[in-house]
Chains A and B, each alone.
Chain A
């Protein structure tokens, strides 16, 4: 039984005098200390301080490039349209739509009383569907008709429609002779107007003519003579007659005009347990590590992404997300008692010092600990096998910056979507805690009063990884879409602050997101 309560005047005097005593060290001591310290430039934070601006600048440059490509594409399409319009002549329509939009040739005035069957039906208010039976071949114009040629090399000047009456062949003569009043009105009428150069020109034309024909019929006036309508116009004219019943529904644009969309997403990533660390001999121990994976907790990630569509199927995405992960892993080191370095203490049997060397995805660590016999009277032979179970918990917070290329397949409400790209991981928090250190040999215990020393070297503040996902996108409407995708992600080769390579396990999970496009 120690008696520290007995106060010795000598001890009291020394304690009282030297307790708060200070002595001046030499002036050059700080210089010697500083020479032994690692240079501050080698710290990982300063490395990140340099590279973070480069990365942010790269992200901004990517977005600017996307915007530039978008603007250039719009300008190119606009100029291409203008060139196409300028190159095409009205006499050479290329497509059905352009044929419809092309101005009609001047309409000749019927001279005799023979009316075309289709024209009859039209003028008497019956369905213009019958106009589709009009056969241009049956009513081919004679060779002397100057409008028969549409060649660009020999353009035909438009003639007033009433002048065509003189050249119409008998087959085009109307069966009924128009009244003198009508004839006079026809002669006074202006030439046929140019059709609007739009896709709906045929509809506009018929819509304007049908009331006119009906009004003339109701007023008792003689029917207007039929005009020579090209066959392709007559075939399209069925649409307004059928109305909206058989006409196709308005076509909803499959893609939004701007191609930009923004999405909120959440991911649940399940990383496998850390790989078994590589045993390193520090004090000549024969260390054998066995990794015991714990029930891994999933890593949750939430973030924001912006997507720009490029072309019909492809797109580029960039964004920002936050991820948090807690990983717990137990290691068992197996060695001989005599492998440790002898250290003072431990009674009759000397203590031994050992070291764990860990290599985890978050960094490397060296754990120094000392062991001693549980009983002084029980000496431990040198070859005694010692097993120590050490449990470590890593707590990681990440800021993730993904830059992905995406590809969509399909159309309609349900699309397939695949994304692949690079993810920059920035460590906001990267801690390692020694949760427990237990000897599995009852004859040996951890040295009393000695706490294990953990020297943690975390990974570099920034690392790069990959992202692969493929799933389905359901479009609720033109603007909002939901996505569900399985995910495979991981890191490329990365190292700790001292350059040691770290394991790069792949992680699996899922991602759900909601996107808004405009």
Chain B
């Protein structure tokens, strides 16, 4: 994304805004699908995310990659959307949770494609899904996730473990079927 294209978008030129939309719509909509519980919800997040990108484009200082900045905007939009939907993140304790150490489990070489993985993610509870996305796909640490979501670090870890257990079961089930 060149500075001239950004300037054109800031001036409100529809052609430049449409070009930016066409360039990033696929990747950003995939991000929205991962955080949303349904496709319709992902569409709402994607619509709001693009509006915020065009509104806050002047805040992009050009120091990092533009797609990274745009991705953060969409993630924040998704989180705020979840907050609006009052889907409170579950804060179950790790106490009593029997989590097997399956780090040595076989890799999922015959797993379904990305669309099916997204469908599996959407079957997760919102809290599990959000922590899994932030930790695994966005690369945040547990302390950062705790800051972002307003939960403790231990809660973030437990949410991640629970999400992985759920995903593994769902994945095995889908492979069997």
Contact = CB atoms under 8 A, between A and B. Distances in A.
A17 B56 contact: no
A350 interface: yes
Nearest to A453: B59
A168 to B, nearest CB: 98
Contact of B108 (A13, A20, A23): A13
A6 B103 contact: yes
Interface in A249-278: none
Chain B interface bracket (under 10, 10 to 19, 20 to 34, 35 or more): 35 or more
Given A18-B30, A453-B59, A4 B141 contact: yes
B105 to A, nearest CB: 6
A24 B150 contact: no
Given A33-B50, A346-B147, A453-B56, A18 B43 contact: no
B118 interface: yes
Contacts of A23: 26, 29-30, 33, 115, 118
B141 A351 contact: no
Nearest to B26: A22
Interface in A443-502: 447-449, 453-456
B147 A15 contact: no
A75 B14 CA distance: 56
Nearest to B22: A30
B69 to A, nearest CB: 11
A33 B136 contact: no
A381 interface: no
A220 interface: no
B66 interface: no
Nearest to A22: B26
A34 B14 contact: yes
A26 interface: yes
Interface string A22-51: 111110011011101111101101100000
Contact of B150 (A345, A449, A456): A345
Given A6-B103, A25-B43, A351 B30 contact: no
Q: Which interface residue of A14, A19, A37, A345 has the most chain B CB atoms within 10 A?
A: A14
A454 B150 contact: no
Contacts of A4: 141
Interface string B9-42: 0011110011001000111011001100000000
Nearest to A36: B51
B146 interface: yes
Given A18-B117, A43-B12, A29 B47 contact: yes
Interface string A414-429: 0000000000000000
Nearest to B151: A344
Contact of B137 (A6, A15, A32): A15
Nearest to B147: A345
A13 B144 contact: no
Contacts of A9: 103, 105-108
A8 interface: yes
A46 B14 CA distance: 13
Contact of A8 (B106, B111, B164): B164
A29 B25 contact: yes
B6 interface: no
A350 B103 contact: no
A30 B13 contact: no
A381 B31 CA distance: 38
A11 interface: yes
Nearest to B157: A2
Contacts of B18: 30
Interface of A: 2, 4, 6, 8-15, 17-26, 29-30, 32-34, 36-40, 42-43, 45-46, 343-347, 350-351, 447-449, 453-456
The 7 closest A-B pairs by CB, nearest first: A344-B150, A22-B26, A40-B12, A25-B29, A21-B114, A345-B147, A43-B12
15 contacts: A4-B141, A9-B103, A9-B105, A10-B105, A13-B111, A15-B137, A17-B117, A18-B118, A26-B43, A46-B12, A344-B149, A345-B149, A351-B150, A447-B147, A455-B59
Interface of B: 11-14, 17-18, 21, 25-27, 29-30, 33-34, 43, 46-48, 50-51, 54-56, 58-59, 79, 83, 103, 105-108, 111, 113-115, 117-118, 132, 136-137, 141-144, 146-152, 164, 167-168, 171
